[in-house]
Amino acid sequence: MNRELLGIHHVTAIAGDPQRNVDFYAGVLGLRLVKITVNFDDPGTYHLYYGDEVGRPGSLLTFFPWPGAPEGRLGAGQVTAAAFSIPAQALGYWIERLKRHEVAVLGTTTRFDEQVLSFSDPDGLQLELVAGHTEDGRNPWAGGPVPPEAAIRGLHSVALTEAACDDTAQLLTEALGFSPMEDGGSRRRYAIGSGEPGALVDVVCLPGTARGRVAVGTVHHVAWRTPDEATQRIWRQQIAGRDLDVTPVIDRQYFHSIYFREPGGVLFEIATDPPGFTADEPPATLGTRLMLPPRLEPMRRELEHGLPPLRLPTISPGT
């Protein structure tokens, strides 16, 4: 049994208007909307999943859209940036594309020998496109507006901002199987395995930084991949043995989850790869209708009436 984590499973953030969210992530970034469902803990709001063709683990950025909710504040104890992997030759394409769509680009920089394009989504969520020095062999979503040779391959990494880093680093390396990879002063990179895109986390050490507030425009949690439920149960035992408050296994329909907070306060999840997003609809129609778990099906009419209508973007190449 492989007890190692496999990388990032997904990142979940909080948005404001759901239609604006769909227009940006499916229309501008060219990700596939692979699942429209509801927040299982708060069924009155959507849970929107974006990723590759079938929403493979490691490609997924998901959102709870809460229209009218307050804005969040970046700070310590948060995932403060989510990064996507793009081909090295695609950086110029993305600079031009974001400019054409009037996206707030924060600039480009070199980090650990990689080119990083920083920008924010319409709610202020901090995002990055990373043109790495090694080829990312994952297949992109080829049915969107971005040509496949430039399209997003999946998640590259997440950045955790911490006021104190030692305990977080110890958890990553001693409990979760990460290895120190690179040190850039206040930013330290840790990797699972050989450190391929999608298996990286940067810990940004900023002593004295005030705690962030999780609300619109911020990340709610980051989930790490595990291959199956048996391995997940082992992880739960190990985490509980470190005196961390870990939840029971929770059925999220498309994966099973456990949650806990790392010492700095960031909410971590460990999620299983199966059963995946084709468990309740075929690949061809993913993301085209509201899907509900069996326990919420009796409430479908009520939920559909209360949720704001969503218009899927018309996709044509180059738009």
Q: Note the pLDDT of residue 312.
A: 84
Domain chopping of the chain, boundaries: 8-306
Q: Note the pLDDT of residue 140.
A: 96
Q: Note the pLDDT of residue 315.
A: 61
Q: Is the pLDDT of residue 2 over 70?
A: no
Q: Give the pLDDT confidence of 23-41 residue by residue, as tens digits.
A: 999 999 999 999 999 999 9
Measured distance CA(242)–CA(239) in Å, rounded: 5
Q: Is the pLDDT of residue 161 over 50?
A: yes
Residues sharing a CB contact under 8 Å with residue 17, sequence separation 6 or more, in sequence order: 65, 67, 122
* pTM, 2 dp: 0.96
Measured distance CA(132)–CA(199) in Å, rounded: 13
Q: What is the mean pLDDT of residues 191-208?
A: 96
CB 72 within 8 A of CB 286: no
Least confident window among 135-139, 186-190, 261-265: 135-139
* The token pair that represents 292 in the structure block: 């509900």
Helices and strands of the chain, counted as H and E runs: 5, 16
Q: Would you call 281 exposed, middle or buried from its count of C-beta atoms within 10 A (0-12, 13-18, 19+)?
A: middle
Q: Give the pLDDT confidence of 123-134 residue by residue, as tens digits.
A: 999 999 999 877
Question: Binning pLDDT at 50, 70 and 90, where does residue 188 land?
Answer: very high
CB 111 within 8 A of CB 64: no
Q: What is the mean pLDDT of residues 110-125?
A: 96
Q: Is the pLDDT of residue 316 over 60?
A: no
Looking at every residue in the chain, the average pLDDT score rounds to 95
Q: Is the pLDDT of residue 1 over 80?
A: no
Q: Indicate the pairing of strand 60-65 with strand 8-15.
A: parallel
Measured distance CA(176)–CA(186) in Å, rounded: 21
CB 275 within 8 A of CB 255: yes
- Looking up tokens 């901002």 gives 161
- The number of C-alpha atoms within 13 Å of 92 and in the hemisphere containing its C-beta is 1
Q: Is the pLDDT of residue 139 over 60?
A: yes
Q: Give the pLDDT confidence of 245-292 residue by residue, as tens digits.
A: 999 999 999 999 999 999 999 999 999 999 999 999 999 999 999 999
Q: What is the mean pLDDT of residues 138-161?
A: 96
Q: Note the pLDDT of residue 234.
A: 96
Q: Note the pLDDT of residue 126.
A: 98
Question: What CATH architecture applies to the domain 8-306?
Answer: Roll (3.10)
* The token pair that represents 179 in the structure block: 């290895």
